[in-house]
């Protein structure tokens, strides 16, 4: 038996293609979960399959005692496509966060022994290991696991005044998601992000962006920070980066890169030839095709269409998001998002719930406009049925 950590839907999938999944009964579902923002190129993308097959025939794993070509290639691409100068590979988002926090602590301590405080946001989600959990601003995840990491301080998201009050000489980092995903597709305000950048500069602290969910094209640019006119010192990636293969990364720049030395961190699997080659193939496909323009276009189309079709429903509050990172907010006194997720299965549509009673509408980035409209109509039918 599996430990009862996840509440699973009663479905077992056996294959997939593009935006579609097939279960063990031969039923076909429109997949707007995308493996929780992972399957950017959908299911069974020919280039991903090809990369896995050919790399597996050559080399799967060698360890970090040696170099490997896939890792070099992916690193060069990430650096070329961003404002960062160094990369470290992990196996998940949570692990990426852990190392980001360690780098910030090390840098802070090198300046002053009490410069160890990490500021994080209310309603954030950064993962569930002790470090990442300590900066995840949701009591429901933390409650049973105290004591957590000391010297962390929570501020309300987008509250400039609270952020200014919280930051001091003891601050070594501010960590945030540029769009909070898990807790409800909450967008960071431009002024808030600029203030965070300014405070980090003034106090010699690192700005850490968790782009695990926003990254790799989901918002219509390769990274969300590119739309916010700030460059963080450290960026955490995972989810879509590997096209479904388990890989995470942190990207660092300038002082954050110099803070790291031999032995500071490690990972046996991290950056292995197989996952890096697949990730490199994915980055090539996303950056050299028209996918990101497509994401921006169909994302705007989806929001307009959802607004138009759903405004008649009593339970509908609003639709928000950037690109194909879309959150649909429902009034929880009228309907629960978990009910919608279950009811949508009857329409053969897969969507995810999120914090504050939202439905996360996350098509694969390659979903066509027709497929997106199809998904919206399936959700509309679901709501009609539920509101009767
Ligand atoms: C999913 C997610 C994580 C955790 O990543 P894992 O790969 O599940 O460890 C951290 N931060 C954000 C913003 C996420 O969306």
Per-residue pLDDT of 58-68, as tens digits, reads 999 999 999 99
* Phi and psi torsions of 87, nearest 5°: -140, 145
| Distance, CA of 189 to CA of 185 (rounded, Å) | 12
Does the predicted TM-score (pTM) go above 0.95? yes
Instruction: Inform me whether the pLDDT recorded for 218 exceeds 90.
Output: yes
Active site residue 239: yes
Distance from residue 127's CA to the centre of ligand 1 (Å): 5
Active site residue 223: no
Distance from residue 126's CA to the centre of ligand 1 (Å): 6
Write down the mean pLDDT value for the chain.
Answer: 98
The residue nearest atom 5 of ligand 1, judged by CA position, is: 93
| Distance, CA of 142 to CA of 152 (rounded, Å) | 13
- The ligand 1 site (C-beta within 6 Å) comprises 92-94, 125-127, 177, 181-182, 210, 212-213, 238-239
- Residue 291 is inside which H or E element, if any? helix 291-310
**186-216 per-position pLDDT tens digit:** 999 999 999 999 999 999 999 999 999 999 9
Distance from residue 40's CA to the centre of ligand 1 (Å): 15
Testing ligand 1's pocket by substitution, the residue of 38, 90, 213, 269 carrying the most ligand atoms inside 8 A of its CB is: 213
pLDDT confidence band for 388 (50 / 70 / 90) = confident
> E strands along 240-357, which residues?
248-252, 316-322, 325-330, 349-350, 352-354
User: What pLDDT score does 82 carry?
Assistant: 98
**291-313 per-position pLDDT tens digit:** 999 999 999 999 999 999 999 99
Testing ligand 1's pocket by substitution, the residue of 214, 239, 267 carrying the most ligand atoms inside 8 A of its CB is: 239
Helix, strand, coil % (nearest 5) of the chain?
40, 20, 40
pLDDT confidence band for 146 (50 / 70 / 90) = very high
Nearest alpha-carbon partner for 222 in 253, 178, 272: 178
Catalytic residue among 115, 195, 239, 303: 239
Distances (CA, A) of 52 to 59, 211, 289, 373: 10, 25, 20, 32
Burial string for 346-379 (b: 16+ CB within 10 Å, else e) reads ebebbbbbbbbbbbbbbbbbbbeeebbbbbbebb
Active site residue 210: yes
Instruction: Inform me whether the pLDDT recorded for 267 exceeds 80.
Output: yes
| Distance, CA of 240 to CA of 224 (rounded, Å) | 14
């Amino acid at each position: 038996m599996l430990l009862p950590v996840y509440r699973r839907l009663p479905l077992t999938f056996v294959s997939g293609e593009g935006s579609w999944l097939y279960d063990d009964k031969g039923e076909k579902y429109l997949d707007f979960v995308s493996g929780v923002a992972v399957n950017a190129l959908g299911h069974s993308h020919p280039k991903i399959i090809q990369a896995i097959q050919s790399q597996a025939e050559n080399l799967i794993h060698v360890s970090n005692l040696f170099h490997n070509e896939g890792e070099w290639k992916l690193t060069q691409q990430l650096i070329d496509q961003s404002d960062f100068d160094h990369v470290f590979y992990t196996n998940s988002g949570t692990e990426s966060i852990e190392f980001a926090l360690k780098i910030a602590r090390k840098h802070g301590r090198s300046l002053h022994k009490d410069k160890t405080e990490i500021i994080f946001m209310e309603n954030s989600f950064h993962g569930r290991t002790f470090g990442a959990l300590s900066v995840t601003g949701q009591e429901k995840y933390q409650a049973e696991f105290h004591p957590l990491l000391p010297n962390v301080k929570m501020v309300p998201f987008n509250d400039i005044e609270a952020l200014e009050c919280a930051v001091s000489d003891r601050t070594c980092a501010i960590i945030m998601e540029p769009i909070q995903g898990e807790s409800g597709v909450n967008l960071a305000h431009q002024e808030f992000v600029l203030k965070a950048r300014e405070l980090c500069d003034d106090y010699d602290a690192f700005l850490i962006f968790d782009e695990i969910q926003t990254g790799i094209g989901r918002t219509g640019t390769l990274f969300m920070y590119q739309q916010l006119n700030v460059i963080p010192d450290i960026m955490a990636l995972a989810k879509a980066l590997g096209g479904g293969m388990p890989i995470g990364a942190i990207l660092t720049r300038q002082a954050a890169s110099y803070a790291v030395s031999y032995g500071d961190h490690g990972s046996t699997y991290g950056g292995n030839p197989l996952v890096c080659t697949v990730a490199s193939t994915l980055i090539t496909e996303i950056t050299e095709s028209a996918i990101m323009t497509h994401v921006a276009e169909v994302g705007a189309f989806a929001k307009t269409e959802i607004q138009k079709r759903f405004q008649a429903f009593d339970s509908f509050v609003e639709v928000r998001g950037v690109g194909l990172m879309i959150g649909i907010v429902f009034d929880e006194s009228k309907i629960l998002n978990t009910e919608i997720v279950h009811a949508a299965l009857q329409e053969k549509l897969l969507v995810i719930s999120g914090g504050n009673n939202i439905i996360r509408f996350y098509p694969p980035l390659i979903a066509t406009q027709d497929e997106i409209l199809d998904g919206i109509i399936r959700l509309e039918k679901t709501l009609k049925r539920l509101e009767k």
